């Protein structure tokens, strides 16, 4: 689709793919001249309703893809869930500073829910050998688990309401941080809900002095 201005683009819907009963991907044709750094987000507008989403595709992909948590009584996500191929949305230029920086320390990615999105973008740009704590209610909600686990040097799924026994941490990502992660200096990347990020920062300040923290609040 054509570029509208320096700040916004028209993009046609390609299609959706449901990952769980309440999370889906939606892809758009890539506008000419659109570029981004993995981890950056766009503002997406339909019918004058705007929300921000992180792009999860590779930087050179022909489509732009986002991961959406469906809110049935929300204003925008029902429109995205019902969007048909060819329907036009407005995208801003990519922006944001939650990008991977190789700074010589072990990276620890901490994600809950759709907060895994920027880490998926990092992975699809070649980032490897990090430690990832991925939080979800149960195993079905571990979005992109196989892809993340394959790229990680250490992968710890943290389930707050597990339905069976298995190789996972029975509890939240923050309890794993506090109780199990080796006390070293790390580069922490936090993405997810504001409560998780607040609690994680408190734990990092107490138990991991000298570590660096990068964060993105998703919902």
Instruction: Write out pLDDT tens, residues 52-99.
Output: 999 999 999 999 999 999 999 999 999 999 999 999 999 999 999 999
pLDDT, position 4: 44
Q: Across the chain, what does the average pLDDT equal?
A: 94
Domain spans in the chain, listed from the N-terminal domain onward: 8-92, 107-217
Residue 45 has pLDDT above 90, yes or no: yes
pTM of the full predicted structure? 0.94
Q: Is the pLDDT of residue 111 over 50?
A: yes
Asked if domains 8-92 and 107-217 share a fold, the reply is no
Q: Per-residue pLDDT tens for 148-191?
A: 999 999 999 999 988 878 889 999 999 999 999 999 999 999 99
pLDDT above 90 for 138: yes
134 Cβ neighbours under 8 A, 6+ residues apart: 111, 112, 116, 142, 145, 148, 155, 156, 157, 158, 173
Structure confidence at residue 1 (pLDDT): 41
The yes or no reply on domain 8-92 and CATH 2.40.30.10 is yes
The torsion of the CA quartet 102, 108, 114, 120, rounded to 10 degrees, works out to 40
Can you name the CATH fold of 107-217?
Rossmann fold (3.40.50)
């Amino acid at each position: 689709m054509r570029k509208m201005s320096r700040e916004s683009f028209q993009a046609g819907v390609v299609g959706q793919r449901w990952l769980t009963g309440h999370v889906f991907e939606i892809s758009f044709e890539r506008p000419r001249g659109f570029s981004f750094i993995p981890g950056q987000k766009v503002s997406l507008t339909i019918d004058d309703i705007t929300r921000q989403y992180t792009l999860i595709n590779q930087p050179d992909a022909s489509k732009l893809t986002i991961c959406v948590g469906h809110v049935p009584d929300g204003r925008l996500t029902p429109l995205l869930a019902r969007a048909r191929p060819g329907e036009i949305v407005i995208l801003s230029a990519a922006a944001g500073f939650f990008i991977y920086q190789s700074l010589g320390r072990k990276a620890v990615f901490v994600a809950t829910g759709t907060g895994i999105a920027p880490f998926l973008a990092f992975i699809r740009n070649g980032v490897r050998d990090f430690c990832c704590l991925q939080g979800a209610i149960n195993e079905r909600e571990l979005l992109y688990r196989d892809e993340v686990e394959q790229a990680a040097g250490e992968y710890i799924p943290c389930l707050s309401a597990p339905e069976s026994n298995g190789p996972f941490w029975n509890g939240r990502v923050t309890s794993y941080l506090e109780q199990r992660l080796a006390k070293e200096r790390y580069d922490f990347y936090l993405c997810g809900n504001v409560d998780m990020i607040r609690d994680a920062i408190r734990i990092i300040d107490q138990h991991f002095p000298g570590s660096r923290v990068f964060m993105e609040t998703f919902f």
